[in-house]
């Protein structure tokens, strides 16, 4: 038994024994796979600007794989590094396992190292050489604790130079970056820099984020989304069961999803609560905070008229950035906080910071700030994360909504327009889902993504994102290849400047999943259609162990062929 196994549960021990199923194209290894170049690509937007920024890596062709003898991959041993970047997601260890096995299958002399603590490990040149003995107790487990993660961004000329020097000093031939849209944007920048410096270092990305906002027709889902939404659905399903038992509380549940509402929508499908707020719809309809509150109030009143003073509401974590007038306010705050960062750093209290910021805001925005609860105002002015994003996980939107709904109901009660009772309980389910033991789907998917990345690396295909698709079918039928990182990019304003970034995939209001939701939400609002799906299932009939997300099923129903 490997070292450390005595400290884990029996379930974990059994999960370590799980053997992920590889797509048929990958089973024989990289020596029997030939990359096929497809059409030249272009970015989704801002083509001229991005072509100028990525002079050496823009316009790469799509890559698919076909069977065939590939002598290149076994000619000489290579040293590959892997780094986990950004927040954790279930299945990260299996990416490393797939990458390790793919490299060793091609050539036993290939070496895999793991940078420690995320991208900062690259800059500090801190890593460990990965062996099967070290890796075996981490297979099919949750978390990123094998080599840890971090949010350091490599973006300055000095950091790029240090990255280059450390890769050269460690004799690393390739770097695999496991991360979300920001981390893979970083990977694209590093790939471009290496090409500009005439270095044959191969940089490959792997799509990771439980938020589900790194996807397109080639990246059908990011890893971790399946497991995380199953974990959240278990928790929300328990609340639905509880609320239908006691029938006296309104539960406001905030779910992770910084920039998109995919998690809220998926958990909504799995549990069928009374209200699911979709940020993208709220933004499209240019709804103000008052209008969002009024919509919730209307459902509360309608249910109270039937004697139902209870319910469940799902709130996406990033909702506040989708509300029309709040989005405008946050944009103004971002500019003020960035432009005056040195002045603000000298303030000793939040009150001093507030007074300074209020003085810089327009009358419209300062009035809106004044109308918000004090705690929310303080949270809105917290420092931005390293990528320039508002730290929405620290903004208690669910409590803001409860307070405003409560105030509105008091007004209506005084006007004799509401006679019910309103008691609310708030929850935030975020970190609970990030390090869960991966579902069978995520265990298979992440292993395939890592193995697929090994094939890309061994063929020197730099500037690509590992792509495994056709995911609604059995793993043996999954299709593998690579998609250029620049293909998914556009220009966005960050930290007061225009920057190239991989565009986030938001909930498509014309897509099949959202239309399915719209068809059902009125019924969910007034009835108790609650579902309690239970915990993630690892053993048993395939109908419960291998199911994909509802989102994938609705999006790709025409591809299902088992």
Give me the CATH number covering residue 356.
Answer: 3.40.50.460
Specify whether 267 is located in the same domain as 249.
yes
260 and 160 in a common domain: no
Q: How high is the pLDDT of residue 390?
A: 64
Per-residue model confidence (pLDDT) at position 328: 86
Distance of alpha carbon 119 from alpha carbon 183, whole angstroms: 9
Pick from 118, 148, 14: which is nearest to 443 by CA?
14
For residue 561, the tally of other CB atoms under 10 A from its CB is: 9
Decide if 72 is inside a domain. Answer: yes
Report if residue 1 sits inside a domain. Answer: no
How far apart CA 93 and CA 395 sit, in angstroms, is 30
223: which 2 tokens?
A: 């890893």
Whether 2 is in a domain gets the answer no
At which residue do the structure tokens 């009035």 appear? 367
Tokens of 128: 């460990």
C-alpha span between 562 and 559 (Å, rounded): 9
Say if residue 127 is in the same domain as residue 186: yes
User: DSSP class of residue 317?
Assistant: T
- Whole-structure pTM over 0.85, yes or no? yes
Q: Which two tokens stand for residue 203?
A: 């940089």
The whole-number pLDDT of residue 189 equals: 97
| All residues at 6 or more sequence positions from 367 whose CB lies less than 8 Å from its CB, including other chains | none
Task: Count the domains in the chain.
Answer: 2
Q: What is the pLDDT of residue 22?
A: 98
- 185 shares its domain with 47: yes
At 98 the three-state DSSP class reads helix
| pLDDT number for residue 339 | 81
Q: What is the pLDDT of residue 561?
A: 64
In this structure, how many other beta carbons lie within 10 angstroms of the beta carbon of residue 557?
A: 10
Residue 288 and residue 407 in one domain: yes
3-state SS, residue 525: helix
Instruction: Tell me, yes or no, whether 562 lies in a domain.
Output: no
Whether residues 206 and 323 fall in one domain: no
Q: Residue 112 falls within a domain, yes or no?
A: yes
Spatial strand order of the sheet with 275-276 comes to 275-276, 311-316, 250-255, 424-429
Q: What tens-digit pLDDT sequence spans the chain (562 residues)?
A: 344 445 778 998 999 999 999 999 999 999 999 999 999 999 999 999 999 999 999 999 999 999 999 988 877 899 999 999 999 999 999 999 999 999 999 999 999 999 999 999 999 999 999 999 999 999 999 999 999 999 999 999 999 999 999 999 999 999 999 999 999 999 999 999 999 999 999 999 999 999 999 999 899 999 999 999 999 999 999 999 999 999 999 999 999 988 899 999 999 999 999 999 999 999 999 999 999 999 999 999 999 999 999 999 999 998 998 998 888 888 888 788 878 888 888 888 878 888 888 888 899 988 888 888 888 888 887 766 655 566 666 788 999 999 999 999 999 999 999 999 999 999 999 999 999 999 999 999 999 999 999 999 999 999 999 999 999 999 999 999 999 999 999 999 776 688 999 999 999 999 999 999 999 999 999 999 999 999 999 999 999 999 999 999 999 987 766 5
| Domain assignment present for 13 | no
pLDDT on residue 395: 82
Same domain? 239 vs 165: no
Contact by Cβ (8 Å): 23, 102: no
Question: How does DSSP assign 131-164, residue by residue?
Answer: -HHHHGGGTT--SSTTT-EE-----SHHHHHHHH
Residue 292 in domain? yes
Q: Which residues span the domain enclosing 527?
A: 226-432+512-555
Contact 185, 207 (CB under 8 A): no
Q: Are residues 102 and 154 in the same domain?
A: yes
Do the beta carbons of residue 160 and residue 167 sit within 8 Å?
Answer: no
**Is 506 contained in some domain?**
no
Q: Which two tokens stand for residue 88?
A: 């954790």
One domain for residues 130 and 178? yes
* 194 and 108 fall within a common domain: yes
Q: What is the CATH number of the domain that holds 82?
A: 3.40.50.450
Read off the DSSP letter of residue 114: E
Choosing from 173, 182, 211, 226, the catalytic residue is 211
Helix or strand holding residue 354 (H, E): helix 350-360
pLDDT at 495: 66
In terms of domains, do 474 and 414 share one? no
pLDDT at site 3:
42
Q: Are 32 and 67 in contact (CB under 8 A)?
A: yes
Say whether 306 is catalytic.
no
Q: Contact, 143 vs 108, CB < 8 A?
A: no
- Are residues 165 and 271 located together in one domain of the fold? no
Q: Is the distance from CB of 50 to CB of 486 less than 8 angstroms? A: yes
């Amino acid at each position: 038994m490997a070292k450390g196994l005595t400290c884990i549960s029996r379930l974990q021990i059994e999960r370590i024994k799980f053997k992920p199923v590889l797509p048929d194209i990958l089973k024989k290894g990289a020596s029997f796979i030939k990359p096929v170049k497809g059409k030249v690509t272009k970015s989704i937007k801002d083509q001229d600007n991005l072509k100028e920024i990525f002079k050496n890596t823009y316009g790469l062709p799509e890559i698919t794989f076909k069977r065939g003898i590939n002598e290149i991959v076994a000619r000489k041993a290579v040293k590959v590094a892997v780094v986990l970047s950004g927040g954790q997601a279930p299945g990260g260890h299996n990416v490393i396992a797939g990458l390790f096995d793919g490299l060793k299958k091609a050539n036993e002399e290939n070496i895999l190292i793991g940078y420690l603590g995320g991208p900062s490990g690259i800059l500090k040149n801190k890593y460990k050489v990965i062996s099967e003995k070290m890796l075996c107790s981490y297979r099919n487990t949750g978390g990123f604790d094998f080599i840890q993660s971090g949010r350091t961004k490599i973006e300055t000329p000095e950091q790029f130079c240090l990255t280059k020097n450390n890769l050269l000093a460690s004799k690393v031939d390739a770097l695999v970056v496991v991360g979300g849209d920001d981390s893979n944007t970083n990977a694209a920048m590093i790939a471009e820099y290496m090409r500009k410096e005439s270095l044959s270092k191969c940089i490959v990305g792997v799509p990771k984020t439980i938020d589900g906002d790194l996807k397109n027709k080639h990246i059908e889902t990011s890893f971790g989304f399946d497991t995380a939404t199953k974990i959240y659905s278990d928790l929300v399903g328990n609340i639905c069961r509880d609320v239908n038992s006691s029938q006296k509380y309104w539960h406001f549940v905030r779910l992770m999803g910084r920039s998109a509402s995919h998690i809220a929508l998926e958990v909504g499908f799995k549990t069928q609560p009374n209200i699911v707020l979709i940020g993208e719809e709220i933004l499209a309809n240019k709804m103000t905070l008052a209008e969002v509150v009024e919509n919730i109030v209307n459902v509360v009143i309608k249910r109270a008229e039937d004697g139902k003073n209870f319910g469940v509401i799902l709130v996406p974590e990033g909702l506040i950035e989708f509300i029309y007038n709040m989005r405008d306010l946050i944009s103004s705050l971002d500019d003020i906080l960035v432009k005056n960062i040195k002045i603000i750093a000298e303030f000793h209290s939040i009150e001093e910071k507030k007074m300074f910021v209020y003085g810089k805001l327009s009358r419209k925005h300062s009035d809106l700030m004044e109308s918000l609860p004090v705690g929310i105002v303080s949270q809105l002015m917290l420092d931005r994360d390293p990528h320039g994003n508002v730290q929405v996980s620290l903004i208690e939107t669910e409590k803001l909504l409860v307070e405003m709904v409560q105030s509105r109901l008091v007004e209506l009660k005084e006007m004799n327009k509401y006679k019910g009772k309103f008691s609310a309980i708030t929850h935030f389910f975020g970190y609970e889902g990030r390090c869960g033991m991966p579902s069978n789907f995520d265990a298979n998917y992440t292993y395939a993504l890592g193995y697929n990345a090994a094939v890309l690396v061994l063929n020197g295909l730099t500037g690509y994102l590992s792509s495994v698709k056709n995911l609604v079918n059995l793993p043996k039928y999954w299709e593998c290849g690579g998609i250029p990182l620049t293909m998914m990019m556009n220009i966005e304003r960050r930290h007061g400047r225009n920057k190239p970034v991989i565009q986030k995939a938001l909930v498509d209001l014309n897509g099949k999943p959202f239309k399915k939701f719209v068809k059902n939400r009125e019924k969910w609002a007034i009835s108790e259609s609650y579902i309690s799906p239970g915990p993630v299932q690892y053993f048993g009939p395939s109908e419960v162990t291998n199911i994909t997300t509802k989102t994938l099923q609705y999006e790709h129903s025409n591809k299902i062929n088992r």
